[in-house]
Amino acid sequence: MSRKRVVVAGLGDVGILAAIRLSRHFDVVGISVKPALLSGQELGVRLSRPEDWARDYWIPFDRFRGLDRVRTVQGTLTGVDLAARTVVGRRDDGTTFVEAYDALVISTGVSNGFWRRPTMQSAAEIGADLQAAHERVAAAASVIVVGGGAAAVTSAANMATSWPDKRIDLYFPGQHALGAYHPRIWKRIERRLTDLGVGVHPGHRAAVPNDFAGEEITPGPVRWSTGQPPACAEAVVWAIGAVRPNSGWLPAELLDERGFVRVTSELRVPGQRGVFAVGDIAATDPLRSSARNRGDALVSHNIRAELTGRRLRTFRTPGRRWGSLLGIQPDGLEVFLPTGQAFRLPSWSVERVVMPWVVRWGMYRGVRENQPFHNAPG
């Protein structure tokens, strides 16, 4: 008897993990606009140390041992036929493709600023984008970071660490940043930013045009709808959280009012047998936390359960975001818990244990040696 086929639509951070898990039980087809895992994580390291970032967050699909049994298709999804159980897409050369499925995982994520875009790209184009953004902020004597979330905070901190002589200012609308995290975490991070010389400016809401979502690093000034005088800098990083779901290929009946995919507590799309959504595109909770709390494992289990008539498990949200905020630093990796507590992993353990064994082998089931991004094939 032939094995069931699962289509994983989107091979970002969570989609690739789901595909790896599912490939042990099904024939899996993964569809992505990129030829590699191109993570949306750790924007600050990406801007300030792109080679370090690329080593861990830009990995060609053929380097994942866990994807050896997965057929990957590079293309843009254009539609789904729920009755026929097929997805339709378009390749870079304009030709179309159709993939049939017994189960479908929707994990096409969101667009957010210049670092998370659903555009078709080659390895050479990805490398050029990384280098251009790095060179833009490296050449600036002063940088403003606008936003109060993790992407903004990590950008300010990492740029200040890499370029201590550069003037870095962080502006955000609330009285404190990192509103999705425990308040104790922001107090700790604020002290770190101050020690690094970052100017911290609460209560500043940027006057942003409706059609602008931070798709580029711009020159200043930045004007404020909250009444303060404009702020000037040679470069402005817009990390304003203007996320937009990559759901234009899906029918409206699957989506909520903001365009995210509606799901049950089992991450299943209501009324659609064998159709699941996970990651930032899934409307699980206000934080869309299945992207960061092993939603890939739950989806893999529930697809197997649904196709074999067993009981599905439910997804439980942590309530607050948690994890690493600043990325790997010279002194190690600091991890924050939902309770606001933190622990630090020393640099030797990150280099010798966490990344090679916990991440590359434990999570990804093995990653072959990668290349520096500037040598990537194009």
Q: Which CATH superfamily is domain 123-238 in?
A: FAD/NAD(P)-binding domain (3.50.50.60)
**Distance between CA atoms of residues 267 and 200, nearest Å:** 39
- Is it true that domain 5-116+244-327+348-358 has CATH number 3.50.50.60? yes
What is the model's pLDDT at position 90? 98
> How far is the C-alpha of 66 from the C-alpha of 243, rounded, in Å?
30
pLDDT value at residue 307: 93
- Print the SS3 string covering 52-89: HHHHHHEEEHHHEHHHCCEEEEECEEEEEECCCCEEEE
Structure confidence by residue, pLDDT tens digits, 29-44: 999 999 999 999 999 9
Domain pair 5-116+244-327+348-358 / 123-238, same fold: yes
pTM for the whole structure: 0.93
Determine whether 326 is exposed, middle or buried from the number of CB atoms within 10 Å of its CB (0-12, 13-18, 19+).
buried
C-alpha distances (whole Å) from 112 to each of 88, 215, 246, 332 are: 24, 8, 10, 28
Encoded tokens for 308: 């074999």
- Residue 307 buriedness (CB in 10 A; 0-12 / 13-18 / 19+): middle
Query: Is 50 exceeded by the pLDDT of residue 376?
Result: no
Over residues 188-216, the mean pLDDT reads 92
Residue ranges per structural domain of the chain: 5-116+244-327+348-358, 123-238
Q: In what order do the strands lie in the sheet with 333-336?
A: 323-324, 333-336, 342-345
pLDDT of 371 > 70? The answer is no
- Binning pLDDT at 50, 70 and 90, where does residue 58 land? very high
Mean pLDDT for the chain overall: 94
String of DSSP letters for 137-155: HHT-SEEEEE-SSHHHHHH
Per residue in 156-194, pLDDT tens?
Answer: 999 999 999 999 999 999 999 999 899 999 999 999 999
Q: Which helix (H) or strand (E) holds 198?
A: none
Q: Which are the contacts of 238, defined by CB distance < 8 A and separation ≥ 6?
A: 113, 146, 147, 206, 208, 212, 213, 214, 216, 217, 218
| pLDDT over 90, % of the chain | 86
Q: What pLDDT score was predicted for residue 323? A: 87
Residue 321 is predicted with a pLDDT of 85
Query: Under DSSP, is residue 204 helix (H, G, I), strand (E, B) or coil?
Result: coil
3-state secondary structure of 359: helix
The residue-averaged pLDDT of 209-238 equals 92
Does 372 score more than 80 pLDDT? no
Encode pLDDT of 124-165 as tens digits: 999 999 999 999 999 999 999 999 999 999 999 999 999 999
Do 48 and 130 touch, CB atoms closer than 8 A? no
Q: What is the pLDDT of residue 293?
A: 83
- Cβ contact 151:180 at 8 Å: no
pLDDT in the model for residue 118: 94
Please report which confidence band the pLDDT of residue 370 belongs to, taking 50, 70 and 90 as the band edges. low
- Structure confidence at residue 378 (pLDDT): 33
Min mean pLDDT across 32-41, 300-309, 314-323 is at: 314-323
Q: Please determine, for residue 374, whether its predicted confidence score (pLDDT) is greater than 60.
A: no
Contacts of 31 (CB under 8 A, 6+ apart): 7, 8, 9, 10, 11, 72, 73, 74, 75, 77, 87, 89, 99
